Amino acid sequence: MKVLAMLEKKVRYCKDITLAECFRSQTGRLLYRGKFYVPAYSPLRLYLIQTHHEVPVAGHPGRSKTLELL
């Protein structure tokens, strides 16, 4: 949210992330280098990994396939 607010205010510098490579998607989410940005929030990251790793249709995709799905 902090980075999105900085983008709206047209701030030019941030010590945490390169703002020139950040964009707001049509859904309001942060894109960094063309990919969705996921903050360093362990419960969220664990949820995302579990939802893409434990899908019955995918079987057991393994590490590489799970990262590809994400």
pLDDT in tens, the chain (70 residues): 888 899 899 898 888 888 999 988 888 888 888 888 888 889 988 888 888 776 666 566 677 777 777 6
Measured distance CA(28)–CA(46) in Å, rounded: 22
Q: If phi over 0 gives left and psi between -120 and 50 gives alpha, with beta otherwise, what is residue 62?
A: left
Do 29 and 48 lie in a common domain?
Answer: no
Do 20 and 45 lie in a common domain?
Answer: no
Which pLDDT score, from 0 to 100, does residue 60 have?
Answer: 63
Which pLDDT score, from 0 to 100, does residue 42 have?
Answer: 92
Measured distance CA(35)–CA(26) in Å, rounded: 13
Q: What is the DSSP letter of 54?
A: S
Number of structural domains (the chain) is 2
Do 43 and 23 lie in a common domain?
Answer: no
Tell me which residue range forms the domain holding 59.
39-70
Which pLDDT score, from 0 to 100, does residue 36 have?
Answer: 84
Half-sphere exposure of residue 67: CA atoms within 13 angstroms, side-chain side: 2
Q: Which amino acid, residue 11?
A: V
